[in-house]
Amino acid sequence: MGIVARSRVKSPWIFHLNTGSCAGCDIEIVAALTPRYDAERLGCVLVGSPRHADVLLVTGPVTRQMLPRFIRVYEQVPEPKVVVAVGTCASSGSPFLGGQMVEGPVDKIVPVDVYVVGCPPRPEAIVKGIVTAVKKRFG
């Protein structure tokens, strides 16, 4: 692995975007960053601005209100970037699939690298999803 690829794998900065989730997944993402699961040991840092991010963690089944904002945030993340769909809503849209106000799931709108399923997924699964995504893309 080259030094650039290695650096990319070792330093995934996360931006978390809620596209209409119930906040269950979001709480689990926050839990993955707490001292107990300590995602920072793998170099993950939660950043507040999409401009700093490498990994876009998307939760929720992309509601109609969120669609233009979601695309805008996706475009604000500088290349190379990775998208991880967190939760069953984001991965497949289930129970909301086909709903009146639902435009998702996420992979209908942007390319998704890794799906982390579960309602909500466990923090370990989210950390593993992030690591798998960066390894798959850059490693």
Partner 1 sequence: MFCGVKGETMDVITAFLLTFPIVFVISLLFDGIDRKIHARMQRRVGPPIIQPFYDFIKLLNKERIVPAMASSQIFTVLPTLAAASSILSSAILFTSVMSGTSFGGDLVVVFYLLAMSSVLVTIGGSSSGNPYGAIGFSRKMTMLIAYEVPLLLSFLSVFLKINSTSYYNAILTQVKVGSMLALAFPSMAVSAVAFLLCIPAAADAVPFDVSEAKTEIIYGPLVEYSGPYLALFKLAKASSNLSLTFLACTLFFYLPALFGDGDSLWLGAFIVCLLLALILWFLTITVPRTVFARMKVGQAFKFYWIVALPLSVIAVVLSALGL
- Which x/- pattern, by CB under 6 A, does the window 25-54 give for ligand SF4? x-----------------------------
CB of 22 to ligand SF4, least distance (A): 3
The binder of 108, among partner 1, ligand SF4, none, by C-beta within 5 to 8 A per type, is none
CB of 21 to ligand SF4, least distance (A): 3
Of residues 30, 97, 101, 119, which one binds ligand SF4 by CB under 6 A? 119
Total count of residues recorded for the chain: 139
Strand partners of residue 59: 18, 86
Residue 64 makes contact with partner 1 by CB under 8 A: no
Q: Which positions from 66 through 85 interact with partner 1, judged by CB under 8 A?
A: 76, 78-80
Long-range own/partner contacts, residues 45-50 (CB < 8 A, 24 or more apart): 45/11, 45/13, 45/14, 46/13, 46/14, 46/15, 46/16, 47/13, 47/14, 47/15, 48/15, 49/15, 50/15, 50/17, 50/76, 50/77
